[in-house]
């Protein structure tokens, strides 16, 4: 028996009715719970759409102007650095702050052929265990993932930054706080956004990033217990 298009058109309404009748009633369908990240982005989108078009354009121009001023100030500061200071610190950074994110651009004068360092953790929160490890050869980087039985997660990333491998990192900093804290030989950037803490620091020629849903004090304590064997 050959099935024709006319037969399909004739049976389509019956198939639709049969399929709809098999679905549960609306009051039995569980309500979908969106993630907090999705809810925040929707609230931000609604706020932006409530603004008039001239206001949105003005805010965009203001953000671009602020980013340009910040870049110019950072570059001017870099030009004023002494030769000794430049030699002592291989990795430099340009930071662009936007409305809902921060863009970090890293560049380095490091030229030696260096392998990734061995990482050891002398302190980890109770119950947290390594679950997997990812390593890339180009560019050289490794990421270590941790998790405990409650689902709390911790992620550590190590990236080699040389004169031939720049690095760009974009972090969601909307409604978060960003501060600079002393750490090691230089300063570290500490970003706190709701329950997430991010600590980013340099250990020439590496850039380190530690992220987890732990208090900032705990993240700093974990970072202080990291040993890097170069």
- Rounded CA gap, 159 and 205, in Å? 8
Could you read off the pLDDT tens digit of each residue along the chain, which spans 230 residues?
677 777 777 777 777 778 777 777 777 777 777 777 777 777 767 766 655 555 555 555 555 555 555 545 444 444 444 444 434 466 676 677 766 778 877 767 666 667 777 888 999 999 999 999 998 877 788 999 999 988 899 999 988 887 777 677 788 888 888 898 988 777 888 999 888 999 988 887 788 899 999 999 999 999 999 988 76
Going by C-alpha positions, the residue among 207, 210, 228 that lies closest to residue 165 is 207
pLDDT of amino acid 197 = 93
- Rounded CA gap, 130 and 148, in Å? 9
Return phi, psi of residue 115, to 5°. -85, 165
- Rounded CA gap, 41 and 8, in Å? 43
- Residue listed under structure tokens 């050959």: 2
- Rounded CA gap, 147 and 214, in Å? 12
Asked whether the whole model's pTM tops 0.75, one would answer no
- Rounded CA gap, 60 and 63, in Å? 5
pLDDT of amino acid 57 = 57
pLDDT of amino acid 90 = 64
* Both structure tokens of 51: 């603004």
- CA 90 to each of CA 109, 110, 201: distance values in angstroms, whole numbers, following the listed order: 5, 6, 13
Q: Check if the beta carbon of residue 126 is closer than 8 Å to that of residue 221.
A: no
- Rounded CA gap, 7 and 126, in Å? 66
218: exposed, middle or buried (C-beta count within 10 Å: 0-12, 13-18, 19+)?
Answer: middle
- Rounded CA gap, 88 and 39, in Å? 45
- Rounded CA gap, 88 and 108, in Å? 12
- Rounded CA gap, 205 and 116, in Å? 10
* Both structure tokens of 127: 């119950």
Q: Residues with Cβ < 8 Å from 201, sequence gap 6 or more?
A: 183, 184, 186, 187, 188, 189, 207, 208, 223
Enumerate the β-bridge partners of residue 28.
Answer: none
**Domain 90-229, second-level architecture:** 2-Layer Sandwich (3.30)
In sequence order, which ranges of the chain are alpha helices (DSSP H)?
Answer: 5-21, 36-50, 53-79, 83-88, 216-224
pLDDT of amino acid 77 = 44
């Amino acid at each position: 028996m050959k099935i024709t298009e006319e037969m399909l058109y004739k049976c389509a309404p019956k198939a639709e009715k049969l399929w709809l009748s098999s679905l549960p009633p609306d009051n039995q369908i569980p309500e979908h719970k969106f993630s907090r990240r999705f809810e925040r982005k929707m609230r931000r989108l609604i706020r932006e759409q409530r603004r008039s078009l001239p206001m949105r354009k003005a805010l965009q121009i203001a953000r671009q102007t602020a980013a340009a001023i910040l870049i110019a100030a950072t570059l001017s500061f870099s030009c004023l650095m002494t030769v000794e200071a430049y030699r002592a610190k291989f990795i430099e950074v340009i930071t662009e702050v936007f409305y809902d994110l921060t863009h970090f651009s890293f560049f380095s004068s490091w030229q030696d052929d260096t392998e990734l360092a061995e990482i050891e953790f002398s302190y980890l929160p109770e119950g947290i265990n390594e679950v997997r490890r990812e390593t890339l050869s180009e560019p050289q980087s490794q990421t270590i993932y941790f998790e405990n039985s409650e689902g709390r997660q911790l992620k550590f990333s190590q990236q080699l930054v040389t004169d031939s491998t720049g690095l760009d990192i974009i972090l969601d900093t909307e409604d978060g706080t960003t501060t600079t804290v002393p750490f090691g030989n230089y300063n570290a950037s500490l970003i706190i956004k709701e329950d997430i803490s991010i600590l980013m620091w340099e250990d020439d020629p590496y850039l380190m990033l530690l992220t987890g849903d732990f208090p900032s004090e705990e993240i700093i304590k974990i970072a202080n217990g990291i040993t890097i064997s170069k």
